[in-house]
Structure 1
Amino acid sequence: MSYYGSIEAGGTKFVCAVADEELTIVERISLPTTLPEETLANVFDFFDQYELKGLGVGSFGPIDVNVQSATYGYITSTPKKGWRNVDLLGLLKERYAIPIAWTTDVNAAAYGEMHLGAGKQTQSCLYLTVGTGVGGGAVVQGAVLQGFSHPEMGHISVARYPGDTMESVCPYHEQCLEGLAAGPALEKRTGIKGQLLPEDHEAWGVEAFYLAQALMNYTLILSPEKIILGGGVMKQAHLLEKIRRSLEVQLGGYVNVPEEYIVGCGLGDNSGTLGCLLLAKEGV
């Protein structure tokens, strides 16, 4: 029997899975992201047990998604030690002579959520993950959105919350969304890890302000039918409603968004894996 394969290539871990024709996951493993040679050796050991007919890869980035580029398939300017300018797609193609779909980890998650999760019954959705970093992907008219490169939604510039003078945790930008609202920023602002922060702590209002401001910008530019929020920071159930209220205030009545516009993941921690599997199946 042949299977579809999935790789969620993250900066901390590679999640690999195989699934049958119905995309039912047969086996799934998590491998630490060390140096490329060691990591890929473990990836190959896993997939070599199966007959693969297609593979979907959602990678941490930045990556080159331009098929006309000489470095298509590369992880490019990542700060991850040892992974800058690694031809990840090329190394996978050397090993497996099968169709391989290639996109970002957040694009894969957006694709999975739109077709199989919280975005079902829509033709456009946006997925934003808020955790160690902030990243976003969009699906428009059923297809992943990208141009000369892929979206970098976590690095849009945001206006600071009144009185917030905390130094950004992003080494590139002093007031981008990731630098002011990712998990490490939340911890830097309070001295407490997000999962231990009381619900009534004022920092959650600051967090909601930054995320809602970003969602307002995405809304005004892309007008997706649904925005789906995931990642470790969003596992705080109370935060979703705070973001909704802040978005309403910041929009100021200029745009009326649909009901159930901002929602949590429908696929939980499987958004990226199922998105990659679906891309693999469609690419065969």
Structure 2
Amino acid sequence: MKRIGAIELGGTKAIVGAAVMDGTARPTTIDTVRIPTTSPEETLARCADTLRDLAGRMGGLDAVGIASFGPLQLDPRRPGYGAVTRTPKPGWAGAPVRDTLAAAVHDLRPGGVPVAIDTDVNGAALGEGRWGAAQGLDSHVYVTVGTGIGVGVVVGGRPQHGLVHPEGGHLLVRRDPARDPYAGHCPYHGDCLEGLACGPAIEARVGRPATELADDHPVWDLVGDYLGQMAANLLFTLSPQRIVIGGGVGARHGLLDHVRHHARRHIGGYIDHPAVTGDLTTFIVPPGLDGESGLAGALALGWDAAAGRSA
């Protein structure tokens, strides 16, 4: 059994918790605390204080896992490992997330407390793979669709990195200007996936928040088309065994039906596998962790760090 601290650091709030884990059963967190994401100094200090409080009640910590918004520097060989890199969130570019929290918990264990960090979507993908909708699979993708769009990838049971880390929210998709004259929300790419299908893009296009739109509003089929293109592109490039779609917009009633319909259309019958030749209901699925995918992923990162396995 290991005592694992976990932080899901999002753009609007951080969730801090801890669990005593055996690495197999879905962990039950102890006193999950929500902290508003303000400045890096204030937010990380409150996260650190909460971790230390939980550690005191548990008799220490064996490791900490952090699933954070990004982009992040995830190459331990490069300067700024564990820090936020280029982000539109004011004040957070260069914020040393991992170093700050590692320093705060270092003295809670002889030799220091191992601290692992990954993106929030890679963390969510890992959590869904360990205990959720992708359990038992070798490779899968987790997509969150909300204020932005993030894509986490797990291959061989481990989060995918590489040159940096997956940024599938900025995939380039095909926009028909006659059907959708909206030029896109993304400040970097305009009409990339995030620029066309995230919550702010929907609101900018129709003039009302997505939460106020009826289920039969035509924008949902349009968003489903863009996400269906994403699903087809991910299938063609990564060949995941499953795509899990969550987030505030992703959880919209009926949206996954649109996504599956358009994904099947864009796949075009090219992939010969039962998972993608039918209605795609076992290939494109909702999360299985009841909104706790990110925190579960942070716990999984912490467990692996305690066991000496890096992300």
Normalised to the residue count of structure 2, the TM-score between the two structures is 0.88
Matched, 1:45 2:49: yes
Superposition deviation, residue 162 in structure 1: 5.0
Which of 149, 152, 155 is the aligned partner of 1:134?
149
- Partners in 2 of 1:269 and 1:36 — Cα distance? 24
- Partners in 1 of 2:21 and 2:82 — Cα distance? 26
Change (3 A) 1:256 1:205: farther
State whether residues 19 and 27 of structure 1, in contact with CA within 8 Å, keep that contact through their aligned partners in structure 2. no
Which of 206, 218, 243 is the aligned partner of 1:227?
243
- Partners in 1 of 2:304 and 2:231 — Cα distance? 30
* Secondary structure of residue in 2 paired with 1:6: strand
Matched, 1:242 2:242: no
- Partners in 1 of 2:249 and 2:190 — Cα distance? 21
State whether residues 109 and 275 of structure 1, in contact with CA within 8 Å, keep that contact through their aligned partners in structure 2. yes
Superposition deviation, residue 268 in structure 1: 2.2
Alignment of 1:29-108 (within 5 A): 29-49=33-53, 50=55, 51-97=60-106, 98-108=113-123
State whether residues 5 and 56 of structure 1, in contact with CA within 8 Å, keep that contact through their aligned partners in structure 2. yes
Query: Residue 295 of structure 2 aligns with which residue?
Result: 273
Superposition deviation, residue 234 in structure 1: 1.6
- Partners in 1 of 2:130 and 2:52 — Cα distance? 29
Query: Residue 169 of structure 1 aligns with which residue?
Result: 185
- Partners in 1 of 2:195 and 2:33 — Cα distance? 31
Matched, 1:200 2:196: no
**CA distances 1:169-204 after superposition (whole Å, capped 9, x unpaired):** 111112210000001111111112212211111111
Normalised to the residue count of structure 1, the TM-score between the two structures is 0.96
- Partners in 2 of 1:136 and 1:121 — Cα distance? 20
Supply the RMSD in Å over aligned alpha carbons: 1.4
Aligned residues: 284
Change (3 A) 1:73 1:246: same
User: What 5-or-longer segments of structure 2 have no aligned partner?
Assistant: 107-112, 307-311
Superposition deviation, residue 244 in structure 1: 0.5
- Partners in 2 of 1:115 and 1:228 — Cα distance? 13
State whether residues 48 and 105 of structure 2, in contact with CA within 8 Å, keep that contact through their aligned partners in structure 1. no
- Partners in 1 of 2:170 and 2:230 — Cα distance? 10
* Secondary structure of residue in 1 paired with 2:288: coil
- Partners in 2 of 1:47 and 1:174 — Cα distance? 39
Which of 166, 169, 176 is the aligned partner of 1:154?
169
- Partners in 2 of 1:60 and 1:281 — Cα distance? 20
